[in-house]
Amino acid sequence: MIIKKTPAASLGLAAAVAATLTASAAIFAPGAAAAAEVEGPKVKWLVSLWGARRGFTEGVEGLKDYLAEKTDGNFELSLEYGGVLSDPKENIDGLQLGAFEAATVCPFYHPDKTPASMGLSQAFLPLPSFEAQYRVYAEYLKHPAVHEEWDKWSATPIMSALMPNYEVMGRGEAPTSLADWEGKRINASGGHAALMEALGAVPSTMPAPDLYNSLERGVIDGIAYPYTYAFVSYRFHELSGWVTDAWNLGTIQCTVAANTDAYNALPDQYKALLEEAVPAAYAHQIAAYEEIDAANEKEFEALGLERIAMTDDIKAALEAAVKPSWQSWIDDVTSKGFPGQELFDLIMSEAEKAQAGQ
């Protein structure tokens, strides 16, 4: 399996990310030397993606650019957007069939197929930054039980597709205290719905295209979504008056994976190059998110959105609510033959290490 702890893990976080950003900027810069640094045959991988290019896909975009630059275009990732190769819920099946060479796979689309991998998508995990996310994800995906799960689908994880933590944005009276959340109608799903219930809110789940009108008409009071880009993409900020500030309610983990036969068919120098490309690809994606967030934060400030700080009683309510959902996942995967408690402990211990490294 290709996923492993990156060299950045042994450095101070700021220095590691800065160095990787500088290196990747030089690699992706126009006018860079065209001569291949890594010699090898022509290889073209079709990569199954959905939607349009966005922050969520910038990691694989960075991976594509790095490989092309280092091989003078000989190792090509052809990024197929719009679900033209497969529905996102079926990308893992496509990998197993060898219908394409690589894809982004989100375990939450098919938790029954990838129960162990769902551990990384539990709500309110202590992963406040992208750097903490990718370090924990890498260690988790190396665990033999998780590796075995991916093996069943003839898939080899390359890296994770990072997604921001969730926050809540809404309109009406700002819920600045725990009592203010009572009765608030919040669009949230899965573990995030349980968190909203713990605050006294009433969760519901609607398709994304319906949310703007629902917020505008007062059918709902707020929305739990990835911060900041999802709010701006759907224009929720135009209707809102407040947003939670660094609550970090949790996120969803997705994996960029290769068909195992396609990966095994690569020459050794291309396998090594894929591994080398991952830190630069993460840096590329993080930089893209930071650029998006900077622009969006200015817009939020101009609109006068009130920032809702997390109080001690709100934090206690959220922590109390999420523990049963964590235990439910542990029990579920244990019943399916996975070492549930061991996997969960791995997430928490690696999260502690990652945050200490920051």
Residue by residue, pLDDT tens for the chain (358 residues) are 464 433 333 333 334 444 444 444 444 444 444 578 999 999 999 999 998 999 999 999 999 999 999 999 999 999 999 999 999 999 999 999 999 999 999 999 999 999 999 999 999 999 999 999 999 999 999 999 999 999 999 999 999 999 999 999 999 999 999 999 999 999 998 889 989 999 999 999 998 889 999 999 999 999 999 999 999 999 999 999 999 999 999 999 999 999 999 999 999 999 999 999 999 999 999 999 999 999 999 999 999 999 999 999 999 999 999 999 999 999 999 999 999 999 999 999 999 999 887 6
What confidence score (pLDDT) does residue 357 get? 75
Is-contact 77 67, C-beta < 8 A? yes
How far apart are alpha carbons 88 and 156 in whole angstroms?
17
Query: Which residue in this structure is represented by tokens 């008409």?
Result: 217
Return the CATH number of the domain spanning residue range 7-163+252-292: 3.40.190.170
What confidence score (pLDDT) does residue 358 get? 61
What confidence score (pLDDT) does residue 14 get? 38
Is-contact 188 203, C-beta < 8 A? yes
What confidence score (pLDDT) does residue 208 get? 87
- What 8-12 contacts at long range (C-beta under 8 Å, 24+ apart), as own/partner pairs, is 8/279, 9/135, 9/357, 12/357
Q: Which CATH superfamily is domain 166-249+295-325 in?
A: Bacterial extracellular solute-binding protein, family 7 (3.40.190.170)
**Domains 7-163+252-292 and 166-249+295-325 in one fold:** yes
In three-state form (DSSP H/G/I as H, E/B as E, the rest C), the secondary structure along 11-67 is CCHHHHHHHHHHHHHHHHCCCCCCCCCCCCCCEEEEEECCCCCCHHHHHHHHHHHHH
Going from N- to C-terminal start, the domains of the chain cover 7-163+252-292, 166-249+295-325
| pTM, rounded to two decimals | 0.85
Token output for 353? 């290490």
